[in-house]
Amino acid sequence: MPNRNLLIVDDEQNIVKSLHRQLRKKEYNIFTAYSGKEGLDIIKQHDIGVVMSDQMMPEMSGIQFLEQVKKKKPDIIRLILTGYASIENTIDAINRSHIFGFLSKPWSFEGLNATLTRAFEHFDLLAENKRLHILTDQQNQQLKIINTNLDSLVKERTSQLEDAINEGIIVLALAAEAKDDDTGQHVNRIRRMSEDVCLRYGLPAAKAEEIGIASIMHDVGKIHVPDKILKKRGPLTEKEWRIMKYHTIAGEKILGTRPFYKTAREIARSHHERWDGAGYPDGLKGKKIPFAARIVSIADVYDALTHARVYKPAWPKEKAIAEIKTLSEKAFDPNLLELFLSIMEK
């Protein structure tokens, strides 16, 4: 139900009565007051939509009263009733006080109706506007909450998905690993050493972890190499060696094309490249070899030397360190090797 509460304020009882009578058959709930003070009491107690006040009243003029109304209840639509002769004098005050309209005495019945209809329509419009503003604000708040929730849900799901894909590939990497290292610990050591070098190099922890995880997959391509070649005790034939070298390219292929595995693919393909360009499969030289692959290649060789394989016993740490030192600038990036040795010798 729209608000149709109308307050009439006039110190002259006859005027109030006359207005009341004329509006009797209209839809308004009429409140009446005989002074500004009384009018203010009524707007305090009732939800008034439109106030129509006489201008010429003792103590508080109509304009003064309506200014108080505006201050206390700005949503109420304000009308002034003024003698025709004093309109000129009042017009400035009307404009200053943001009064919606005025009715001059004596008024016509049609004029009164039209003024009140417009006033209540304006009141409805402002009320609807306010309601829509509040609704929009609430909806914006809700949208914000939904967005925040959605954002964290997407992040959570993405990370779950990445974990799941990671786990799949890691299982495959471990399966490949199991073909020539029964303990399955080789890849874990490579991961730790690679991460340590990354951190010592100054990479952020998240980047170091990413390279560490990617390093686990460096030999995933060995899944393609037959056991009889992987575990052969004697030297490999040329054909066997070709198959063996292919594990780098096979690994890169297994790791697909997703951006997520870019680092893992670089490591898989290039961890047998050498600083001097004599490695495989591409013969890359120096810094042309991807950074992560340069790190993994050091960790891979060191770990192979210090642990037993079917074709060789484990070397003591000191002997392995001495051996890889001789390979600085031949097989390994000298700066990264220095970092690696500073960690190992500690």
Q: Give the residue with the Cβ less far from Fe ion, 219 or 266.
A: 219
Pick between residue 78 and residue 222 the one whose CB is nearest to Fe ion: 222
Q: Considering the complex, state which of residue 80 and residue 336 has its C-beta at the smaller distance from Fe ion.
A: 336
Q: Least CB distance from residue 247 to Fe ion, whole Å?
A: 6
* Helix H or strand E encompassing 82: strand 77-83
Asked if residues 22 and 109 have their Cβ atoms less than 8 Å apart, the reply is: yes
In this complex, which beta carbon is closest to Fe ion, that of residue 54 or of residue 219? 219
Give min distance, CB of 222 to Fe ion, in A: 7
CB atoms near residue 317 (< 10 Å): 13
Q: Which of 66, 140, 153, 56 is nearest to 101 (CA)?
A: 66
The verdict on 303 binding Fe ion (CB under 5 A) reads: no
Minimum CB separation of residue 159 from Fe ion in Å reads: 29
State in angstroms the smallest separation of the CB of 231 from Fe ion: 15
Which C-beta is closer to Fe ion: that of 54 or that of 303? 303
Residues in 180-219 at the binding interface with Fe ion, rule: CB under 5 A? 219
Question: 72-103 burial, b for 16+ CB within 10 Å, e for fewer?
Answer: eeeebbbbbbbeeeeeeebeebbeebebbbbb
Question: How far is the C-alpha of 342 from the C-alpha of 251, rounded, in Å?
Answer: 30
Distances (CA, A) of 344 to 123, 200, 330: 82, 12, 20
Active site residues: 222
The least distance separating Fe ion from the CB of residue 234, rounded to whole angstroms, comes to 20
Residue whose token pair is 């909806």: 139
For the chain, count helices (H), then strands (E).
14, 5
Give the number of other CB atoms < 10 A from CB of residue 65: 28
Measured from each CB, the residue nearest to Fe ion is 219
Which residues sit at the interface with Fe ion, rule CB under 5 A? 219
